[in-house]
Amino acid sequence: MDYDLIGRLLLSLPAGDAETARMAALADKISTYFTPNENLVYRGVAGIGRHGGAIIFLDRRRHPSRKIVVKYSISDQADADLRNEAQFLEMLRGAEHIGQTIPLAEATLNVSGTGKRPTLALDFIPYGTIYAFRSRMDRTHYRVPSRFLWRAFLCLVRQVLAMAFPPQGGPDEPLRRERFHQHRPLGVVQNSPHGNNVIIGDLTSDDFEHSLAPILKLIDFGRGEILRDEEGAIYDNIGNIGVLFIIIFERRLDESYLDNIPELGWQYEFVDRQTGENRRIGTAAPPFFTESKYIDVELRDLVVRCMAVSSDNTPSLEELVGEAERGVAKGPEDIVYEDTAVDPRQTETDEMIRNLVQRFILDAGTIEEEAATLNRRTVNHHLGTTLLGINATTRPGPAQRHQFKQSNLDANTVVDNDID
């Protein structure tokens, strides 16, 4: 790498652009700490920031090869977060709905003369974040089917189950579906529930839960902690299910809406499915969600209860698992909208879900491809490189695309649900 050339180019840029370019060049440099390992092939940058970043490698220790992401830090605070994350991910190893650590000998590196810095290797989860999924839909009128949302909800519930009952699997052991066990639950909280920390994974054709909609995995435990109040931790995590679900549901929203919750919450009335009685609770779920007429009423009620102001109105984790599994098993005829003029048998079909997933997830590009789309102006135009880096030994070709083999629609057909 010609660092003199890079330095001259950086001097010619505005301050903000120069910082972006400098961080991209640093990511390229950091990749050289790993490339002496002949089993690792540098493939690009998953993300960069002021305190660290993440770079992608092809790991040839397995057959077939797999991609891994190596997170690195370049500040004391980021060092602490990364070490903390490593401890929690080790505890959560083996959980199907949590990002997984990968054993890697190159555990530390010496960055820019600042001393030893920790690194953390993770499994590569290909289809970006929930925020990325929403941004792809921003200019459309596509309404997300409730049967897709039930599957997303179940993924979020299973993440909470993993934190309460960590599986503590061994390195490279098969992932296991999260389950209750006889031991006392742990008070693990992730403490960073936002759309960039929920990653979209692959479809799994042999698994009913993830054959129609991809798996969602929780990442970034840099702020994770264990609370002594285990029940309070579970209550907090269940509330965060609602926070993340509403971010998935409302694509023009971030979690800042939580800053404006009334002291007693927004009032919500619903019919208790168990008793048939009318109930009224205070909730942090905002009116634009609670008043939506185009989501399965049972799912809406459940999300609202997850965000109940009083823990007395919050469903237990056992109830959530059971209700979410039952919701995922629903067919189009089982979905009930508040607006009875719309027929879920037309808007909740498998074809609707398949086309949403194909268009906005599978055909939308992987993290690696998005890094190569020339979307970072300063790096691309001034340094003559994408975020795959000057030192990249290979450039990614077109990603292999999943197709729903059971779909009867042409691959180029797009079906938009134009309900507003």
Q: Which contiguous run of DSSP H or E holds residue 300?
A: helix 297-306
> Please, is 166 exposed, middle or buried when counting C-beta atoms within 10 Å of its C-beta (0-12, 13-18, 19+)?
buried
Residue 61, helix vs strand vs coil = coil
Contact in structure between 242 and 304 (CB atoms under 8 Å): yes
Q: Which residue has the tokens 């609707």?
A: 352
Topology of domain 130-356 in CATH is Transferase(Phosphotransferase); domain 1 (1.10.510)
Residue intervals in the chain for CATH 3.30.200.20: 3-125+367-383
pLDDT by residue for the chain (420 residues), tens only, comes to: 455 555 555 566 666 667 767 777 777 778 888 878 888 888 877 777 667 888 888 888 887 888 999 998 888 888 899 999 999 999 999 999 999 988 887 666 665 555 678 888 999 888 888 888 888 887 777 889 999 999 999 999 999 999 999 988 877 788 999 999 888 899 999 999 888 899 999 898 778 899 999 999 999 999 999 999 999 999 999 999 999 999 888 866 666 767 788 989 999 999 988 888 999 999 999 998 999 999 999 999 999 999 999 999 999 999 999 999 999 999 999 999 999 998 999 999 999 999 999 989 988 765 444 444 433 333 333 333 333 333 333 333 444 555 654 433 333 333 333 322
Instruction: Take residue 14 and report the two structure tokens written for it.
Output: 């505005």
Q: What CATH number is given for 3-125+367-383 in this structure?
A: 3.30.200.20
Whole-number Å distance between alpha carbons of 204 and 97: 13
- Give SS3 for 246: helix
Do residues 327 and 145 lie in contact, with contact meaning Cβ atoms separated by under 8 Å? no
Question: 280 - beta bridge partners?
Answer: 269
Q: Where in the chain is the domain with CATH 1.10.510.10?
A: 130-356
